[in-house]
Structure 1
Amino acid sequence: MSRVARLSVLLALLGVVQSGAALAQPSEAPPAIRVVAAQRGEVRETVRLTGSVVAGETVSVSSRLDDFRILTVRAEVGDVVRAGDVLAELDDTMLRVEEAGAAAKLARAAAAVRQAKVAVEDAEIALDQIRSDLRRSAQLHDKRLLSQGALEAQETALRRADAALATAREGFAGAEADQSLAQAEARRIALELGFTKIRAPTGGKIARRTASIGAIPARGGEPLFQIIKNGLLEIDGEVSERGFAKLQAGQTASVRTVGAPDAIMGRLRLLQPELGSRSRLGRLRVTLPQGTDLPIGAFASGEIEVGTGNGVVLPTSAMQTEGGASTVLTYRNGAVTRTIVRTGIETADLVQVLSGVEAGDSVVLKSAGVLADGDRVTPIETPYPASPTGFEPATLRMASER
């Protein structure tokens, strides 16, 4: 056999071997897909908030007198006070002088009232006597034992006695009026003396003090003190428009502030009825427990729980929407099947499944646009927590409401 012929045979044999090797290769394995087992757990739906610490209600304390110098200051910022505690004292020297003068006027007015009362009593006695005399004189006149002139004189005396009694009564009324004025003046001075002690109108914590010894505050001017009523603090916060629609007064909020080791549980007190025109954020107030000690203005963030669901839960990534229905891909016997499910509470992490999937069923973790109904796959079991806290999928930030 020639050399060329031998090469041809050798090449043919190599082709047969390669063809056999190709036929001997196994078919391609199904794609590896991560699957999770549906679990029973709890899903908490929360709305995130950001804000700052503010006073729940601030009570301003001002001077109720004009031109009185501050003599002493007894309260400082941060002090806890009770209603009625003296915060500062004004110089009452001039009022004490007025008080002494008012006391003298009051005593003189009381004496004048007593004298006027005696005058009325004397006038009444005199009038009664003249009336009695006039009756006897009239009888004598009828018997022609008393002249007409004498009778007329007694009638004139009666009219004078009536006038004297009226005058005495007017004098008594005037004396009583003077006494009332003196009493009112004494009460005014006593009231102003009370105002020289500037007292806390409510219990709470002193948030601000402008009072200083020697200053002369004006009535109705800048507050000398500001008190956080009952020491209650609140969070003035903002939430997204989507989350705002789920909130109701009375819901529980978990709040954290910078530097605080633990979360503080508060209660949603107020939802403002208007969203920010630019930010589209809703504003709210969360009341913190009494005794909470945080600096005013501190940054705060937290969550407000709006719903809780128990039962079968799946990762949110396993869900798809098809034809308006929620579906998942369940894995069984080497292949996936599209299954329609009914869902409950949904968060960024978990979904509560009300029907369609049972605990223990294997579900494709992420299936969007990758697999179709009936595809064969190689499963990779993937664990996940059954009860993480679900957060609203939104990035919130403080917004200026200008």
Structure 2
Amino acid sequence: MTRTKSNHRRSPYTRRSVLQTLGSSILGLGCALVVSACNGASGAGPGGGPGGKAPGGRPGGRGKAEGDPLAVELTTLEPATIERHYRAAGTLEALRRAEIRPIRSGIILTLEAEVGDAVEADQVLARLDGRELSLQAKRDALTADNARRELDRLEQLEHAGAIAQEELDALRYELETAQAEAHLSRTQARTMTVRAPFAGTLVSRDVDVGNLASTSTTLFEIADLSAIELPLHLPEREAASVTLGAEVSIELVDDSHFTGRVIRRAPIVDPLTGTVEFLVRAEEFPSIAVPGAFVRVEVLLERHEDVPSLPLGAVFELEGQRYVYLLREGKARRTLVEVGLEGSERVEVLAGIDAGARVLVDAGGITEGMAVKGAGEPDPEPPEDADAGEDAKAEGGPPRSGGWGSRRKRP
């Protein structure tokens, strides 16, 4: 009888070997968990070091990182003057300015001033070609003079009765007409000389000698720089606190400051922007404060003098209420306060804390009950009973029942 060889080999892993391997793995994992738990129980104090004692700290603590109090800056209520300002920006303007144009057209013959010159009122700035008008003025003056002489001659004949009264009246009318025309011609001739309308500084010139200047041609632009003005637009709510004469601090681009005063307030509120326009004027200012300069301003809205106050960072808001942290028995305690006017650096305190209470200057990062101390003050001494209990645990005191360090005896 012939045996047939099978093509399937017997697997080297039998069911018994697999079960043995799995059991060994489970046993090893269980031992590892037991050892880890024992190590955690023997050395896992709050300090995280062996034996529950952190280096450089009390037994069971984390030294400066957690166990010791946080050094903070403290303050008390102090009297201060608190101001509330509204900050805005704007552009300076001249007290007044004007574009100078000729009354009549003509060729520019001379320019008597240049940009940057300070001129007086009625000073000649330019002369236009007005020869035709000058000749006409001379002619009209001559006509008026002849009419005067003729009237004088006829008045002498009137006494002799050699001339009628009607003829004499007609000649007087001609004289008055000639005098009016002569005056008009002189006035027209004078308009060919361009003069400054007021005292100021020439800030621009747009023509040269020989140009034809019409009545729409701007020859010069003049500005009165004896004072500087600044239009401001304040929201309706803040505008209610601004009065005429209020001081306004103005800052230039080089960080220099000067002061102006509110001289005018618009009688209405702009319905499109909801703002009120104010006009600020300054009569003393630095040389770089010129029309067109960009400035930042602070408008004084409210001022409280000698009121109890705290630094602005000491007060924080929680659920719509204002609080501060007080240092009590080595802990930061949250305390409700009532505040008044808030300034840029300090805030007025109306109620909630006593005058001698020690307040944390900066409430950022502080939580209720956190261990804190004043900056530069020594650490507070821990209670004696607490230190004794921690030392006993560190020296191997009686283990807790039910833990890994004890084993119950079977009955």
TM-score strictly above 0.5? yes
Cα offset for 1:70? 1.7
Aligned to 2:173: 177
Counterpart selection for 2:282 from 265, 278, 288: 288
Change (3 A) 1:333 1:173: farther
State the superposition RMSD in angstroms. 3.8
Match of 2:131 among 93, 98, 106: 93
**Structure-1-length-normalised TM-score:** 0.66
SS of the residue corresponding to residue 223 of structure 1 reads coil
Partner of 1:74: 112
Q: 1:169 to 1:80 in 2, by over 3 A?
A: same
Is 1:46 the counterpart of 2:40? The answer is no
Contact 2:84 2:303 in 1 (8 A): yes
2:41 & 2:228 partners in 1: Cα distance?
88
Find the counterpart in structure 1 of residue 243 from structure 2: 248
Matches within 5 A, 1:248-287: 248-258=243-253, 260=254, 262-271=256-265, 273-274=268-269, 277=272, 284-287=278-281
Q: Which residue of 1 aligns with 2:74?
A: 36
Name the CA distance, whole Å, in 2 between partners of 1:213 and 1:15. 100
| SS of the residue 1:331 aligns to | strand
Is structure 2 residue 400 aligned with structure 1 residue 377?
no
**TM-score normalized with structure 2 length:** 0.65
Task: Give identity over the alignment, percent.
Answer: 24
Q: What corresponds to 1:329 in structure 2?
A: 325
| 3-state SS of paired residue (1:57) | strand
- Quote the Cα distance in structure 2 between the aligned partners of 1:241 and 1:344: 21
1:369: how far off?
9.6
The equivalent residue for 2:296 is: 301
The residue number in structure 1 matching 2:358 is: 362
The corresponding residue for 2:6 is none
Task: Report the 3-state secondary structure (helix = DSSP H, G, I; strand = E; otherwise coil) of the residue aligned with 2:102.
Answer: coil
Which of 162, 184, 192 is the matching residue for 2:188? 192
Map 1:123-138 to 2 at 5 A. 123=161
Alpha-carbon offset, residue 179 of structure 1? 1.2
Aligned residues: 322
Residues 381 and 40 of structure 1, relative CA distance in 2, 3 Å threshold: farther
Q: Deviations over 1:203-230 (max 9, x none)?
A: 11112222422223223x2332221125
Kept in 1, the 8 Å contact 2:95–2:227? The answer is: yes
Higher relative contact order (CA 8 A, sep 6+): 1
1:84 is aligned, of 109, 114, 122, to: 122
Q: Which runs of 5+ in 1 are unaligned?
A: 1-12, 127-163, 383-402
Amino acid at match of 2:262: L
Question: Would the aligned equivalents of 1:329 and 1:338 in 2 still touch at CA under 8 Å?
Answer: yes
Deviation at 1:58, TM superposition (A): 1.3
Counterpart contact for 1:47–1:303, Cα < 8 Å: yes
For 1:266, give the aligned amino acid: G
SS of the residue corresponding to residue 148 of structure 2 reads: helix
| Between 362-371 and 99-108, the greater mean CA deviation after superposition | 362-371
Residues 111-260 of structure 1 mapped to structure 2, 5 A cutoff: 111-123=149-161, 168-219=164-215, 221-237=216-232, 243-258=238-253, 260=254
Give the superposition deviation at 1:307: 3.0
What is the distance in 2 between the residues matched to 1:268 and 1:313? Answer: 29
CA deviation after TM superposition for structure 1 residue 110, in Å? 0.7
Does structure 1 retain, via aligned residues, the 8 Å contact 2:310–2:348? yes
1:248 is paired with a residue whose SS is: coil
Q: Give CA deviations for 1:161-215 in whole Å, capped at 9, x if unaligned.
A: xxx8xxx222222222211111111211222233232111111111222242222
User: Per-residue deviation at 1:346?
Assistant: 0.6
Q: What's the CA shift string for 1:109-145, capped at 9, x where partnerless?
A: 112322443454344xx8xxxxxxxxxxxxxxxxxxx
Unmatched 5+ residue regions in structure 2?
Answer: 1-37, 46-50, 54-58, 377-411
Residue aligning to 1:352:
348
AA aligned opposite 1:307:
E
Contact between 1:246 and 1:306, CA under 8 Å: does it hold in 2? Answer: yes
Deviations 1:15-46 (A, max 9, x none): 99879966964697476374431333332322
Q: Distance in 2 between matches of 1:103 and 1:14?
A: 126
Q: Is the 8 A contact 2:93 2:291 kept in 1?
A: yes
Distance 1:76 1:290 in 2: 26
CA distance in 2, matches of 1:169, 1:366: 106
